[in-house]
Chain A
């Protein structure tokens, strides 16, 4: 019977799980392999006898070098990093205090405002980008990082607020009450007692906001025009294609390296990130 059980486990568990992992991670593997493949090997048609997709015998760093030296990739990385960090900071500050207000204070418009903030999801970026482009242009913010730093919070804040509300609701209100009786003003109880306890939540929100900023595309595409101002997603998709020719080696190198900051931040804070995702769902 043990034999039968093992076979079943392989069929129903290991095989499907393995298939999922393979399917989900293969494209990244492909990215890596393509990055280090010399051009000669790279541009072999699929039915070429020598097509060997899964490895390369002559790994090269020329694509990476091209990317970092011949293009504005480094600038794009700096731009994106700067924009993501500042936008995340703004959104965190706003989201944390808004989340606190909605979760812990009772006032007449609480329900309405909470719904209003939630409902901003109703208006995705792809609905607003045309009028926003006009507004950005009118205020001379076009082609500057500020166009993005000021507009990214529109989708980052609601998320941070939501997440923080969940965290704040889980903190017992006796802690605040005790602090106020001890002698703290309301805002002091909030700042010195509640916020420090909510740090894991703040971390989760920050990491999630950071990854969402890196992922944004359409605003960056529409509001930025000069190559020096572009962010990584926009730069890689627009500047690495000359005419109709795709420089796949550099493109994949760009895609790979462009993913590293996010993957790095994520790897350090996986628990917090997952908590962020699940917290926003349950909250």
Chain B
């Protein structure tokens, strides 16, 4: 249980600036997820916390002590790797006991801890087996077991679920969450999967190109993305982006694009006034759109041509086109429509997001 502080953290590799001025505070007991596309710097950041990469500039401290120059063995952390990294020449028991042996724990204590961790993870029956005899899910559990026996101050996870098949991934996600609730150890988790980020994290940090784009509770990122990248990254299917021009007619502001003309919601009107006559980006999540009858008010509705219908059973994804822009809508399975039909889509005004066309920041 520990606080981890990243201050002005930078990492340069031979000309590539992989991590740029990252500032992050991870509080005690928190489960923080670093998420972003590959190459965004999340793994490098994690590895610097682990001590596997040197820090170019900046500071990392755990519980108030600066650990920049400490070897990994001295940082009292544990890491779970994407490829499990189980020692192939040792049994599961020996794998889990290795760290304790290196730290010169007494044999009975080692035994007690290993058995305890094995019970928590349900791998007691596997203790004498070799890694190659285990399935993917079992290996992952052993990797977890190896981490928890040491009772470290911080858990680090490097995309631990990426190698598992879809069904197993969902199952392990739930188990991880349960484990965290039980152990309450501070954790930093890296993934490229935004679903994992949203379901596991107390707080989510979205990274791109080495920089933190936004950090906050999952729901906050979903409802109030700070920029277009975060808006498009969080949520699946991704948010729809339509380039619009802001026009003013008297007091009312409208957002216009070929085939679309909607009113700017009153909450956003103030901030969008200065964009009058300019182009901005309108963001609408697929789940925010629903089919509307002809009688629905036209302020917050528009017409679209259906191109592809994807019935998922629990819902239908309508791939439509509005003017030049593709728009995806997530609608009730009862909706009946087919390609080439025109459909009218409406949205709640407060769910419309706007982004500056140049800086991509949320307006």
Contacts and interface: CB of A to CB of B under 8 A. Distances in A.
* A contacts B directly (C-beta below 8 A): yes
Interface of A: 172, 174-175, 177-186, 188, 192-193, 196-197
A177 B71 contact: no
B216 to A, nearest CB: 29
A181 B87 contact: no
B99 A183 contact: yes
B203 to A, nearest CB: 23
A149 B51 CA distance: 43
Given A177-B52, A197-B88, A183 B102 contact: yes
Contacts of B271: none
Given A172-B83, A174-B81, A181 B73 contact: yes
Contact of B85 (A174, A185, A186, A188): A174
Nearest to B73: A183
A182 B73 CA distance: 6
Contact of A178 (B79, B89, B103): B79
Contacts of B20: none
Contact of A183 (B85, B103, B156): B103
Given A178-B79, A178-B87, A184-B99, 9 more contacts: A174-B83, A177-B79, A179-B102, A180-B72, A181-B75, A182-B146, A183-B99, A183-B103, A192-B98
Nearest to A193: B87
B150 A182 contact: yes
Interface string B172-209: 00000000000000000000000000000000000000
Contacts of B52: 177, 180-181
Given A177-B52, A196-B89, A197-B88, A182 B78 contact: yes
Given A172-B85, A175-B85, A175-B87, A180 B71 contact: yes
B87 A179 contact: yes
A197 B87 CA distance: 9
Nearest to B78: A181
A186 B51 CA distance: 12
Nearest to B104: A183
B117 interface: no
Contacts of A172: 83, 85
A192 B71 CA distance: 18
Nearest to A196: B89
Contacts of A180: 51-52, 71-73
Interface in B85-132: 85, 87-89, 98-100, 102-103
Contacts of A196: 89
23 contacts: A174-B81, A177-B72, A177-B81, A177-B85, A178-B85, A180-B51, A181-B50, A181-B52, A181-B72, A181-B156, A182-B73, A182-B78, A182-B102, A183-B99, A183-B100, A183-B103, A183-B150, A184-B102, A185-B71, A186-B71, A196-B89, A197-B87, A197-B88
A52 to B, nearest CB: 57
A177 B50 CA distance: 9
B242 interface: no
A186 B285 CA distance: 50
A220 B85 CA distance: 47
B282 interface: no
B89 A179 contact: no
B35 interface: no
Contacts of B75: 181
B98 A182 contact: yes
Contacts of B73: 180-185
Nearest to B96: A182
Contacts of A178: 79, 81, 85, 87, 146
Interface string B207-218: 000000000000
Q: Would you list the 8 A-B pairs with minimal beta carbon distance, nearest first? A: A182-B99, A183-B102, A174-B85, A178-B85, A180-B72, A183-B103, A181-B72, A196-B89
A183 B75 CA distance: 9
Contacts of A197: 87-89
Contacts of A182: 73, 78, 98-99, 102, 146, 150
Contacts of B72: 177, 180-181
A182 B96 CA distance: 9
A179 to B, nearest CB: 7
Contacts of A177: 50, 52, 72, 79, 81, 85
Nearest to B97: A182
Which of B51, B71, B72, B146 lies at the interface centre, i.e. has the most chain A CB atoms within 10 A of its CB?
B72
A181 B156 CA distance: 10
Nearest to A197: B89
Contacts of B34: none
A173 B312 CA distance: 42
Which of B51, B71, B75 lies at the interface centre, i.e. has the most chain A CB atoms within 10 A of its CB?
B71
B253 interface: no
Nearest to A195: B89
Contacts of B144: none
Contacts of A193: 87
B158 to A, nearest CB: 9
Interface string B142-180: 000010001000001000000000000000000000000
A192 B100 CA distance: 14
A170 to B, nearest CB: 12
Contacts of A186: 71
A179 B99 CA distance: 7
Contacts of A183: 73, 99-100, 102-103, 150
